[in-house]
Chain A
Amino acid sequence: MKIKQLFRHSETYVLFIVILFSAFVTAINPAFLTLENLFDLLRSSSGTAILAIGIFLVLISGGVDVSCTTIAIVGQYISVNVLIATGFDNIWFAFAISMLLGVTLGAINAVFVSLFKLPTLIVTLGTSSLYHGAMLEFVGTKAVNVGGLPQSIKDFGAFNVLNVSRPDGSTFGLSVFFVILVVIILVTWFILKFTMIGRGIFAIGGNLEAAKRAGFNTRRIQFFVYMYAGLLAGIMGVMHLSLIRYSNPNYLVGTELSVIAAVVLGGARISGGSGTITGTMIGVILITILEKNLIMIGLSSYWQQFFVGLVLLIGVSITYLQAKFQDSGRRIIVKEEE
Chain B
Amino acid sequence: MKIDNPRPFLGFGLGLRTEHYQHVIEHKPQVDWFEIISENYMVPGGKPLANLDKIRADYPMVMHGVSMSIGSTDPLNKQYLTDLKTLINRVEPFWYSDHLCWTHAHQVNSHDLLPLPYNEATIQHLVSRISQVQEFIGRPMLIENLSSYVTYNESEMAEWAFLNEIAKRSGCYILLDINNIFVSAHNHHFKPQDYINGIDNERVMQFHLAGHSYQGEMIIDTHDHDVCDPVWELYTYALKRFGAVSTMIERDDNIPKFSELRQELASAERLAQKTLRAEQLLISGRPVLKGVA
**Genuine A/B complex:** no
Q: List residues of A whose CB falls within 8 A of some B CB.
A: none
